Amino acid sequence: MHWLLTFNIIYLSIFSRSSISTDSQTEKRKNILFIVADDLGWNDVGWNNPDMHTPNLDTLAENGIILNQSYVQPTCTPSRVSFMTGYFPYKLGLQQNGLRPLESNAVSLNYTMMPEKLKELNYSTHMIGKWHLGYCNKNFTPTSRGFDSFFGFYLGSQDHFYHNTSGVSKNGTKFRGYDFHYNYNPYPQAIGVYSTDLYAERTIEIINNTDEDKPFFIYLAFQNPHSPPQVPKGSPVSGCQNITNKNRRLFCGMVEQIDLAVGKIVLALKRRGLYNDTLIVFTSDNGGQVLHGGNNYPLRGNKGTIWEGGIRAPGFIHAKFLNLRRGYVSMRLFHAVDWYPTFIELAGGGLSQSKSNPKINTSLNIDGISQWKGIINASAPSPRNNFLINMIIKKKIFAGIRFGNFKLLLGMAGEMDDWYKPDNKKVNINDGMYSGGSGQTLNNSGINEILDPKFENYIEKLKIDRNDIWYFNIMRDPYEKNNIDTKDKVFYKMLDLLVMYRESYKSPTRIRENLAGNPNFYDGYFHYGWCDSY
């Protein structure tokens, strides 16, 4: 059995005994470094898989809080919506896949983003790396959404050295453009320089020039290890040479580049005297992409699915100003929407609570719940016991929900539903490895055979396909192998919650590509200025 997932008994006892306290210097306002890796899978970090070479990340994780039940969305844009707005993306119509390069879509200006709130609390705010939340209007870009500075790219992917993206629109028009910006302006100086190196240098520049009397928030959204698979020639990678699969070895090298960058950034914090007062949070935006060398084994599924491998993110919290027990593993449910209120509470923003439900932050009116009290005190009760994984409703419902130890999936959870070992050859989407059969037929008969009038009402109300119902006890069955065939009280409670979530559902908004955004009209750059700021 995979060594970390033997936590079911061991770490539950650690969790119940551990306590976390702050030292006498917590009165000084803390800096926040929020690091997001792109397409990093559960099995792609050293603390989950010793074959991966991530010594700097491992040190931070093992001397902090390893988040063992931390969830994100199945793809890029939806997770970033969650991070920046604190809302489940199904409420914004942005729950399905990433924004396309020429799609005139974005997070509505009606939503206040995290850096805007932190600026109100007198934080300096900086973004580095991948945005992917819309750019067709200047008002949608990072420096108009609360960031004092932006250094990175607008789209979902690009070449790591030349920072260009090409494609073909649905009407057959080819496009190709350069996508790297410094604040509002294109930054051609990045051409030929590896993205991770650029991001590390910029982060260190901000650290070296920060005002010690004004705390900072840095959102460092790495491009690595997202495709295309590229690493610098002659880079000092050494921990991946024993991996025989070329695709996996190259992916490992991309992860090592993140690790090297984080090591340099932590060293800069220490030299500047800021390390002791900086909260470092690390997470992925979704599961690893098996097609490009990523891996989520032994979790089930892949990026783009709502199996555990698609949405359960490797992550940790590290802070010298917190007295943490070494190797502390948190079993608390944590969702991507929770970072927003957690950072706001750390920053000194008071969060008033609803009298009818003390878990609701009425001052922010978002879906996220602050986890700060549980971070500083492990014996504090967990504020979250459920969350919506995702919801898309067409002729029938595609949805997932977590409630306590249990998880319910309705409709297809994603085509890549198998358990993919990291030493497999490169998976081909047409090679028959995952036709929807090997995983989807496991023990999926009993739950659909029970005729229950109560259940029939939910079928009609939620548009459930009775042939696609998946119910798991994740703590007992973290690999999602055994579909529970009993409709118990928890099962119906989860259906009730789905009915409640359904009331605020917004259909996925996919706006037709706008050829006015073709880089040919902007001197070869992907640039804003070709849509209204609706």
Please tell me the distance from the alpha carbon of residue 178 to that of residue 190, in angstroms, as a whole number.
10
Contact 165, 158 (CB under 8 A): yes
Q: Residue 447 corresponds to which tokens in the numbers above? A: 């739950």
Decide: 86 and 368 in contact? Cβ < 8 Å: yes
Query: Running DSSP on this structure, what letter comes out for residue 362?
Result: T
Q: Bridge partners of 36?
A: 221, 283
Instruction: Pick the closest to residue 126 from 107, 146, 156, 109 (CA basis).
Output: 146
| AA letter at 119 | K
Which residues touch 83 (CB under 8 Å, ≥6 apart)? 34, 36, 114, 219, 336, 337, 339, 340
Angle at 380 between CA 375 and CA 386, to 5 degrees: 85
- Short-list 131, 62, 53, 146, CA closest to 324: 62
Residue positions annotated with a catalytic role: 76, 132
Per the structure block, which two tokens stand in for 421?
């070992």
Please name the helix (run of DSSP H) or strand (run of DSSP E) that holds residue 246, with its range, or none. Answer: helix 246-271
Burial of 170 (0-12, 13-18, 19+ CB in 10 A): exposed
* Contact yes or no for 469/409 (Cβ under 8 A): yes
Residues ≥6 apart with Cβ < 8 Å to 258: 37, 40, 54, 57, 196, 222, 224, 225
What's the token pair of residue 40?
């990093």
Element (H, E) at 391: strand 386-393
Strand 70-71 vs strand 164-168: parallel, antiparallel, or unpaired? Answer: unpaired
Residue 249 one-letter amino acid: R
Angle, helices 453-462 vs 489-502, to 10°: value is 30
Using an 8 Å Cβ cutoff, are 372 and 319 in contact?
A: no
DSSP 418-469: S---TTSPPP-TTSSTTSS-TTTTTT-SHHHH---HHHHHHHHHHT--TTSE
Instruction: Give the chain's length.
Output: 534
